[in-house]
Chains A and B, each alone.
Chain A
Amino acid sequence: MNALSWVYVILFYLAMLILFVGVVRKIIQYARTPAPLKIPTTPAPVTKAGVVWRMTTEVVLFNSLFKANRWIWIFGWMFHFALLLAFLRHLRYVFTPNFLLWPLIDNWLVLNAGKYAAYAMLFGLLGLLARRFLVDRVRYISSPSDYLMLVLILGIAGTGTWMSFVNHIDIIQLKEFVLGLFTLSWQPLPTDAVLLTHLSLVLTLMVIFPISKLLHAPGVFFSPTRNQVDNPRERRHIAPWARELETGN
Chain B
Amino acid sequence: MADYEIPKLKEYPVIPVLHPGVSAHIKPYVAKADFQIALNYPGELVENWEQKAVAKLGELKGKYRSLQVFLDSCVKCGACTDKCHYYLGTTDPKNMPVARQDLLRQVYRRYYTFAGKLFGKLGIPGFVGAKEMTKDVLDDWYSYFHQCSQCRRCSVYCPYGIDTAEISMAAREIMASVGVGQKYCNEIIAKVFKIGNNLGLPQPALEDTLLGLEEDVKAATGVDVKFPLDVKGADILLVTPSADFFAEPHVDGLMGYAKVFHEAGVSWTISSYASEAANFGMFIGSYDNMRKVALRIREAALELGVKRIVFGECGHAWRVAYSFLNTLAGPFDFLDPNYPVPQHICEFTYDLIQKGKLKFDKSANDHRVMTYHDSCNVARASRMGDTPGGQFTIPREIIKAACNHFYDMPPDTIGEATYCCGGGGGLLTDDLMELRVKGALPRMEALKHVVENNGVTHMAAICAICKSQFTKVIPYYGFKMDQIVSVHQLVSDAIVLTKQ
Binding site for B on A (CB under 8 A): 26, 29-30, 33-39, 41-46, 58, 62, 64-65, 67-69, 72, 76, 128, 131, 135-138, 140-146, 211-213, 215-216, 219-220, 222-226, 230, 232-233, 235-239, 241-242, 245
For residue B29, CB closer than 8 A to chain A, the reply is no
A38 neighbours in B (Cβ, 8 Å):
323-324, 327
- Which residues of B are at the interface with A, using a C-beta cutoff of 8 A? 15, 17-18, 20, 61-66, 68-70, 72-83, 93, 96, 98-99, 102, 113-115, 126-129, 152, 155-163, 166, 287-288, 291, 322-324, 326-327, 330-331, 340-342, 379-383, 386-389, 391-392, 416
- What residues of A have a CB within 8 angstroms of the CB of B113 in the complex? 211
If over half of A's interface residues share one DSSP class (helix, strand or loop), that class is named, otherwise mixed; here it is helix
Residue of A nearest to B77 (CB): A72
Q: Give the residue among A58, A128, A232 with the most B Cβ atoms within 10 A.
A: A232
- Given A37-B327, A39-B66, A223-B160, are A213 and B81 neighbors across the interface (CB < 8 Å)? no
Our pick among A30, A43, A76, A136 for the contact of B389 (Cβ within 8 Å) is A43
Check B126–A42 contact: CB distance below 8 A.
no
* Contact indicator B127/A144 (Cβ below 8 Å): yes
Query: What are 21 of the A-B contact pairs (CB < 8 Å)?
Result: A33-B65, A34-B64, A35-B64, A36-B327, A41-B152, A44-B383, A68-B79, A68-B83, A128-B77, A136-B17, A137-B15, A137-B18, A137-B81, A137-B93, A141-B102, A145-B127, A145-B128, A211-B114, A226-B161, A232-B322, A233-B326
Q: A39-B323, A41-B161 are contacts. A141–B81 as well, Cβ < 8 Å?
A: yes
List, in ascending order, chain B residues with CB within 8 A of A219's CB.
69, 72-73, 160
Q: Across the interface, which residues of A come within 8 angstroms of B160, CB to CB?
A: 216, 219-220, 223, 226
A42 touches B416 (CB 8 A): yes
Report which of A68, A69, A76, A215 forms a contact with B72, defined as CB distance below 8 A: A215
Contacts of A67 on B, CB cut-off 8 Å? 156-157
Does A140 lie within 8 Å of B327, measured CB to CB? no
Cβ contacts under 8 Å, A213 to chain B: 72-76
Does the CB pair B63–A232 fall under 8 Å? no
Residues of A within 8 A of B383 (CB): 42-44, 230
Q: Judging by beta carbons under 8 Å apart, are B330 and A225 in contact?
A: no
| CB atoms of A236 and B330 under 8 A apart | yes
The CA-CA distance from A29 to B161 in the complex, in Å, is 19
A230: chain B residues within 8 A (beta carbon): 383, 388
